[in-house]
Structure 1
Amino acid sequence: MDFHGLHHVALICADYPRSKVFYTETLGLQVIAETYRDARDSWKLDLAVPGGGQIELFSFPDAPPRPSRPEAQGLRHLAFVVPDVAAAKADLEERGVAVEPLRIDEITGKRFTFFQDPDGLPLELYEG
């Protein structure tokens, strides 16, 4: 395999308008495209992640919830690189997002913390 990077991570949300506001306004991700697919009664929102890659945010009617804790199989969390974790944490908290206390990665010595999207998906801020 000759991988060149990660193209996208796809997420299915429970409340599309709420999640769209969270990812675009709270987190500030830029919209690449937004498409309504009538045959699926589904929205697809493509969001640019700074530094490369995308998040695809989907809505599907009656999508079942997925267990995410404790340590369920599947996607564990999605991590965003930030230059200053403490500053990013403070920014999120000012926007009304609950953020866990800062921690230190015992292997790399880098600071990190976790918060959740509107559906409870664990998101991480990792200092890079």
Structure 2
Amino acid sequence: MTAPKNEKFEIMGVNHLALVCKDMKRTVAFYSGLLGMPLTKTIDLPNGMGQHFFFDIGNGDSLAFFWFPDAPEAVPGVTHPAHLVGRGSITTAHASLNHLAFNVPADRIDEYRRRLEAAGIEITPVINHDESERQASLELTPSTFVRSIYFLDPDGIQLEFAAWTRPMGAPGDVRHDPATADDAARYLALQRVAEPAE
């Protein structure tokens, strides 16, 4: 199967994604110390504005963090999910970062889960995203397209280790019309119908 191609811009991946942390030293300890991402560039911003650090996340891509001394506090359920996947609502505000997924080898996801758990990180079971009614299973199914584990960084940013089980873009992978702001009421009504009676 040939992968879909961007015919408008030659985008070669993610140069860097810039997030905001509360404590840069703690962030370096987590991303470099625990997750092993090499720290590749550090910047003290001019006029006491803060710092901007870069981590290598593989494939020529980087993850960057800003630290601003005057940044507002994070608000769970607004700036980032209030819960891990499967443990409550993962809804966040428009323009927020809901979660960040790192691509990992499919044959190592169970090992990586055990290693994070051994390091004291709260982590979900391996979730097999599939075409079932609930769109997820704890078991690998014939329609599983990605296997995931979710955990939090020190600021509550939800991270995912994700392992594709097949190429995306197969027939049937793109079949839904994109929702608009006007569709919100209809979707909220569907959620109310799906909620279990108390």
TM-score (norm 1): 0.90
Select which of 139, 161, 170 maps to 1:125. Answer: 161
Moved over 6 A (4+): none
- Stretches of structure 1 lacking an aligned partner (at least 5 in a row): none
Task: Please name the residue that 1:44 is paired with.
Answer: 52
**Aligned partners of 1:28, 1:57: CA distance in 2, in Å?**
16
Q: State the 1:78 CA deviation.
A: 0.5
Select which of 95, 98, 102 maps to 2:126. Answer: 102
Q: State the 1:81 CA deviation.
A: 1.2
Task: Please name the residue that 1:79 is paired with.
Answer: 101
C-alpha contact 1:77 1:122 (8 A) present in aligned 2: yes
Task: Please name the residue that 2:30 is paired with.
Answer: 22
The total of aligned residue pairs comes to 128
Deviations 1:58-111 (A, max 9, x none): 110131124222311322110011112111111111222111111101146132
Which structure dedicates a bigger proportion of its chain to strand?
1
Q: State the 1:38 CA deviation.
A: 4.2
- Structure with the greater alpha carbon radius of gyration: 2
- Stretches of structure 2 lacking an aligned partner (at least 5 in a row): 1-7, 82-89, 132-142, 165-198
**Aligned partners of 1:47, 1:15: CA distance in 2, in Å?**
15
Aligned AA (1:78): L
Q: What do you get for the CA RMSD once the two structures are aligned?
A: 1.6
Secondary structure of 2:155's counterpart equals: coil
**Aligned partners of 2:120, 2:51: CA distance in 1, in Å?**
26
| 1:112 aligns to 2:133 (yes or no) | no
**Aligned partners of 1:28, 1:13: CA distance in 2, in Å?**
18
C-alpha contact 2:148 2:161 (8 A) present in aligned 1: yes
